């Protein structure tokens, strides 16, 4: 939400490029009670971002997601339908997980999210299936790039592939960081 606000303020001066980051790269079984306890930690970021919605702790009947890779591959799949479609899918995927508390490692849920995003589910599944290995390579390339940039969690922002801002920060903090790093870049370019 804050990055979208920053992009609106900055206009064409910046471009946002979303990358995959796997909080759980490999399947990991957790009990519903363990996962429900973990999701109590969502209350802090929910309090920091008034426009974000969280249903914390996890509620309902869905089991916890087993890992991050299926959702990341689904996101790469959605990206093949264009940036606007990817944006809808991304928002609906976040909603499915953080608000509706659905298992976004489930193929069935990922197809439901595609349908909710106005993507033909048969075409989505065919695209995902045909490109799965390539999408997985892209996801792990993003993930490794993030790790090499010092990212160890989300949210994280890397400016000019050099400067890391980790954690949820106010838009003004991003704005100050951009100004500061632009000054550094300009000074380096004037040498």
Phi, psi values for residue 154, rounded to 5°: -125, 150
Q: 134-186: per-residue pLDDT in tens?
A: 999 999 999 999 999 899 988 888 888 888 898 878 888 889 999 999 999 99
Residue 46 pLDDT > 90: no
* Helical residues (DSSP H) of 53-167, grouped into ranges: 69-79, 83-94, 107-116, 121-148
Assess if residue 117 is contained within a domain.
yes
Residue 1 banded pLDDT, cuts 50, 70, 90: low
Assess if residue 53 is contained within a domain.
yes
Q: 22-34: per-residue pLDDT in tens?
A: 999 999 988 889 9
Assess if residue 56 is contained within a domain.
yes
Residue 51 banded pLDDT, cuts 50, 70, 90: confident
Assess if residue 122 is contained within a domain.
yes
The total domain count for the chain is 1
**Mean pLDDT (whole number) for 99-118:** 97
Q: Residue 114: give the domain boundaries.
A: 13-151
User: Which residue, 93, 76, 89, is CA-closest to 117?
Assistant: 89
Q: 57-105: per-residue pLDDT in tens?
A: 888 788 999 999 999 999 999 999 999 999 999 999 999 999 999 999 9
Assess if residue 36 is contained within a domain.
yes
Chain centroid offset of residue 33 CA: 24
Count Cβ neighbours within 10 Å for each residue of 104-132 and write b for 16 or more, e otherwise: bbbeebbbbbbeebebeeeebbebbeebe
CATH number of the domain encompassing residue 100: 3.40.30.10
């Amino acid at each position: 939400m804050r990055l979208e606000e920053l992009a609106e303020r900055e206009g064409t001066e910046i471009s946002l490029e979303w990358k995959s980051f796997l909080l759980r790269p490999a399947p990991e079984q957790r009990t519903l009670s363990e996962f429900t306890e973990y999701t109590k930690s969502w209350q802090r970021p929910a309090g920091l971002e008034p426009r974000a919605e969280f249903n914390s702790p996890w509620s309902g009947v869905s089991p916890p997601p087993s890992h991050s890779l299926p959702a990341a591959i689904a996101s790469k799949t959605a990206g093949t339908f264009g940036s606007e479609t990817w944006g809808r899918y991304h928002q609906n995927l976040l909603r499915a997980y953080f608000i509706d508390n659905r298992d976004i490692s489930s193929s069935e849920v990922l197809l439901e999210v595609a349908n909710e995003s106005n993507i033909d589910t048969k075409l989505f599944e065919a695209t995902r299936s045909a490109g799965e290995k390539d999408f997985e390579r892209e996801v792990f390339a993003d993930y490794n790039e993030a790790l090499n940039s010092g990212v160890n969690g989300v949210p994280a922002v890397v400016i000019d592939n050099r400067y890391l801002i980790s954690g949820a920060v106010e838009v003004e903090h991003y704005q100050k960081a951009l100004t500061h790093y632009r000054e550094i870049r300009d000074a380096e370019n004037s040498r």
